[in-house]
């Protein structure tokens, strides 16, 4: 059908092992191929950097919590978009919202950055239909969503009884009922405790009534995940996020993965993905003694090969925090006195939303900024270290190019540090000022494409320029042989691609949207022998505890937008 060849670019593809060589990338019928005919349309990428389309492993872009953020923050849109009368400079729909873009802006903005696939970080199962509607309304991108299980009553009861097979059958059922992709865990036990006004701050604090600990929940879900052989590992937002001194809880959490081996046919090698590690890597016992524990945490991560992490950087912007960590958001509201939304999702999870201004002149925030970058710079294996901001919690995803700049340029880091009012305190509490390491383009390709794709079990489709992968390619205006000495040019180059190609179609050219093809919903379809016990338990819970009927719970098949299943068979 249609053929495209991208010629003469400097290619960075860690999956294929190409480290900046000049190579041609051929695409036919939406997939990367070895070669194409002479009739292929040609793009000249001479002097430019070519990577696979970006893969964002953790971002909050679609769903009820995201939309509540949009609704409660009109000021997030003030003077920040082409909002008047539908006159839009790029794309085909109104683009509004700085930290919580509309679904339209999300699709266009990610495409301009060269990202073609994003993984929605948290889907409340009961409200999955809303998530899928927003996926439908997000142009261009392929999107998956992870239902949350860390505060799920079924999981509590199965795991308390150590019934891994039953837990697996329930999760398989729920993945189909929600068209979800994998197992997300947020503040295990804590959000359920929040329904009682309490929390689980360490991995040993038991959940009220269910009397199961976060440690038992996490280990049980790891075992369930590997029993099923899902494409991704469990994806964990651990207990005690955001508090001084929490790095010890983080190490306790990470150690829960010891002894487990990944079992799957998708090439994934980790059993635990710990997300937005920056928020979990703090020393100190008060805001006054707050400091970076990035080194301690990364020392452990570096020697532990069955773990992956993502950064969760702070970008020093005004943004919106939103998470299923209900108690944390209440705590944040008490700290900054801002408006606060709180939601409970029966039997399943909860959420909280609070605006936050990351003022670089506040010492604690300068330290948080440093911690995020230190994690990237201390990392030994960038195939296990991914670039995120926990969008929008640490900052908007539109700042990914800025983070790339900071990781690639000590000069840029120093300039930001120098502009901080409390820079002496920030320097004293962190290591960043003395770190000379500068990441290169191959490192960035690992952190933003190859690594996340592999961790998600999707490297045969995304994050790769090997034949057979989807024809998603980003071409940046960066001469790999002559990286500019002005770091602002690095940020500029990653902010607007020369070309973004999605399944062989040019969607962005010179930073402008030129086409709007439809994306896919990625989900995991598990085929398992029928489990009568679990089916009975489900019917019982819906009769006794849920306020909705079982017949109305599952997402209708035709409600899901262009689904594409990753298939798993369990004996």
Least Å distance, CB 319 to another protein, is 15
Cβ proximity to another protein: between 78 and 428 the closer is 78
Phi and psi torsions of 227, nearest 5°: -60, -45
> How many residues interact with another protein (rule CB under 8 A)?
12
Taken as a whole, the chain contains a residue count of 571
Residues sharing a CB contact under 8 Å with residue 500, sequence separation 6 or more, in sequence order: 53, 111, 112, 114, 116, 473, 474, 475, 506, 507, 508
User: C-alpha angle with apex 55: 303 to 92, nearest 5 degrees?
Assistant: 160
Cβ proximity to another protein: between 83 and 553 the closer is 83
- Residues in 462-481 at the binding interface with another protein, rule: CB under 8 A: none
Sign of CA dihedral 152, 158, 162, 165: negative
3-class secondary structure, 161: coil
- Residues in 2-31 at the binding interface with another protein, rule: CB under 8 A: none
User: Which of 339, 411, 421, 437: binder of another protein (CB under 8 A)?
Assistant: 339
Cβ proximity to another protein: between 77 and 402 the closer is 77
- β-strand 49-52 against 272-274: which pairing, if any? unpaired
- Residues in 234-293 at the binding interface with another protein, rule: CB under 8 A: none
Least Å distance, CB 337 to another protein, is 7
Least Å distance, CB 322 to another protein, is 15
Is 197 a binding residue for another protein by CB under 8 A? The answer is no
Least Å distance, CB 332 to another protein, is 14
Q: Which stretch binds another protein (CB under 8 A): 82-90, 122-130, 456-464, 499-507?
A: 82-90
> If you search the block for the tokens 């923050």, which residue do you land on?
73
Distance CA 306, CA 272 (A): 7
Least Å distance, CB 339 to another protein, is 7
> If you search the block for the tokens 């502009």, which residue do you land on?
419
Least Å distance, CB 86 to another protein, is 6
Is 85 a binding residue for another protein by CB under 8 A? The answer is yes
- Residues in 56-75 at the binding interface with another protein, rule: CB under 8 A: 72-75
Least Å distance, CB 392 to another protein, is 16
Q: Which stretch binds another protein (CB under 8 A): 80-88, 309-317, 483-491, 514-522?
A: 80-88
Phi and psi torsions of 332, nearest 5°: -65, -40
- Residues in 146-185 at the binding interface with another protein, rule: CB under 8 A: none
Cβ proximity to another protein: between 337 and 544 the closer is 337
Distance CA 472, CA 119 (A): 16
Cβ proximity to another protein: between 85 and 529 the closer is 85
Cβ proximity to another protein: between 335 and 428 the closer is 335
Least Å distance, CB 85 to another protein, is 3
Q: Which of 221, 274, 52, 173 is nearest to 524 (CA)?
A: 173
Q: Which stretch binds another protein (CB under 8 A): 8-16, 29-37, 79-87, 252-260?
A: 79-87
Least Å distance, CB 340 to another protein, is 12
Cβ proximity to another protein: between 78 and 548 the closer is 78
Beta strands in 62-135 (DSSP E): 115-123
Instruction: Locate 351 and state its tokens.
Output: 């959420």
User: Which of 84, 89, 261, 482: binder of another protein (CB under 8 A)?
Assistant: 84
User: Which of 89, 261, 337, 482: binder of another protein (CB under 8 A)?
Assistant: 337
User: Which of 1, 87, 532, 571: binder of another protein (CB under 8 A)?
Assistant: 87
Cβ proximity to another protein: between 74 and 529 the closer is 74
Cβ proximity to another protein: between 355 and 457 the closer is 355
User: C-alpha angle with apex 556: 550 to 557, nearest 5 degrees?
Assistant: 130
Instruction: Locate 437 and state its tokens.
Output: 């390491």
Least Å distance, CB 243 to another protein, is 21
Least Å distance, CB 65 to another protein, is 17
Q: For residue 268, what are the CA distances in angstroms to 106, 220, 223, 308, 355? A: 28, 19, 15, 10, 36
Cβ proximity to another protein: between 94 and 126 the closer is 94
Least Å distance, CB 84 to another protein, is 6
Q: Are 475 and 11 in contact (CB under 8 A)?
A: no
Distance CA 491, CA 500 (A): 17
Q: Which stretch binds another protein (CB under 8 A): 335-343, 377-385, 405-413, 485-493?
A: 335-343
- β-strand 307-310 against 385-386: which pairing, if any? parallel
Quick one: how far is CA 518 from the chain centroid? 21
User: Which of 19, 255, 331, 338: binder of another protein (CB under 8 A)?
Assistant: 338
Least Å distance, CB 79 to another protein, is 8
User: Which of 21, 29, 44, 78: binder of another protein (CB under 8 A)?
Assistant: 78
DSSP letter at 207 equals P
Q: Are 62 and 134 in contact (CB under 8 A)?
A: yes
Cβ proximity to another protein: between 33 and 94 the closer is 94
Cβ proximity to another protein: between 322 and 469 the closer is 322
Largest CA distance in the chain: 68
Distance CA 324, CA 235 (A): 13
Cβ proximity to another protein: between 93 and 541 the closer is 93
Quick one: how far is CA 537 from the chain centroid? 32
Element (H, E) at 493: helix 487-495
Phi and psi torsions of 314, nearest 5°: -90, 130
Cβ proximity to another protein: between 79 and 556 the closer is 79
What is the number of alpha carbons within 13 Å of residue 21 lying toward its C-beta? 9
Binding site for another protein (CB under 8 A): 72-75, 78, 84-87, 337-339
């Amino acid at each position: 059908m249609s053929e495209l060849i991208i010629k003469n670019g400097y290619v960075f593809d860690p999956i294929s092992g190409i480290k900046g060589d000049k190579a041609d990338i051929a695409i036919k019928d939406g997939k990367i191929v070895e070669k194409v005919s002479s009739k292929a349309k040609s793009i000249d990428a001479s002097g430019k950097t070519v990577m696979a389309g970006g893969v964002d492993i953790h971002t909050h872009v679609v769903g009820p919590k995201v939309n509540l953020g949009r609704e409660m923050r009109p000021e997030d849109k003030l003077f920040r978009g082409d909002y008047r009368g539908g006159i839009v400079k790029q794309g085909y729909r109104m683009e509004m919202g700085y930290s919580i873009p509309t679904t339209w802006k999300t699709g266009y903005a990610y495409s301009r950055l060269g990202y073609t696939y994003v993984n929605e970080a948290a889907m409340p199962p009961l409200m999955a239909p809303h998530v899928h509607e927003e996926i439908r309304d997000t142009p261009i991108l392929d999107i998956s969503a992870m239902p949350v299980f860390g505060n799920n009553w079924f999981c509590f009861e199965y795991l308390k009884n150590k019934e891994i097979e039953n837990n697996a059958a329930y999760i398989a059922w729920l993945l189909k009922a929600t068209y979800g992709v994998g197992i997300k865990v947020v503040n295990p036990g804590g959000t359920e405790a929040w329904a009682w006004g309490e929390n689980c701050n360490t991995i040993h604090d038991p959940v009220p009534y269910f009397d199961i600990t976060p440690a038992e929940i996490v280990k049980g879900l790891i075992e369930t995940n590997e029993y099923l052989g899902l494409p991704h590992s469990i994806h964990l937002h651990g207990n005690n996020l955001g508090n001084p001194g929490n790095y010890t809880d983080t190490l306790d959490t990470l150690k829960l993965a010891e002894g487990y081996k990944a079992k799957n046919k998708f090439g994934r090698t980790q059993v635990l993905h710990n997300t937005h590690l920056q928020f979990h890597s703090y020393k100190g016992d008060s805001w006054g003694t707050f400091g970076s524990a990035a080194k301690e945490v990364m020392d452990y991560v570096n020697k532990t090969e069955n773990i992956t992490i993502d950064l969760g950087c702070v970008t020093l912007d005004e943004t919106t925090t939103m998470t299923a960590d209900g108690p944390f958001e209440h705590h944040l509201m008490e700290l900054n006195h801002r408006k606060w939304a709180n939601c409970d999702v029966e039997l399943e999870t909860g959420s909280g939303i609070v605006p936050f201004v990351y003022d670089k002149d506040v010492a604690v925030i300068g330290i948080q900024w440093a911690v995020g970058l230190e994690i990237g710079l201390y990392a030994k294996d960038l195939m296990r270290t991914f670039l995120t901001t926990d969008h929008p919690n640490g900052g908007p995803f539109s700042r990914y190019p800025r983070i790339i700049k900071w990781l690639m340029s000590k000069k840029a880091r120093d300039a930001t540090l120098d502009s901080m009012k409390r820079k002496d305190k920030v320097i004293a509490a962190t290591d960043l000022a003395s770190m000379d390491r500068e990441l290169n383009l191959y490192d960035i390709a690992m952190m933003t494409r190859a690594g996340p794709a592999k961790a998600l079990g999707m490297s045969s489709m995304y994050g790769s320029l090997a034949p057979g992968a989807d024809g998603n390619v980003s071409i940046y205006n960066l001469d790999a042989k002559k990286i500019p000495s002005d770091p602002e040019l690095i940020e500029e180059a990653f902010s607007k691609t020369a070309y973004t190609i999605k399944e062989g179609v040019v969607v962005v050219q010179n930073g402008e949207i030129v086409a709007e093809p439809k994306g896919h919903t990625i989900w995991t379809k598990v085929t398992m022998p029928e489990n009568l016990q679990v089916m009975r338990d489900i019917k019982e819970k819906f009769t006794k505890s849920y306020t909705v009927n079982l017949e109305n719970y599952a997402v209708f098949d035709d409600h899901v937008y262009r689904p594409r299943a990753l298939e798993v068979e369990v004996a």
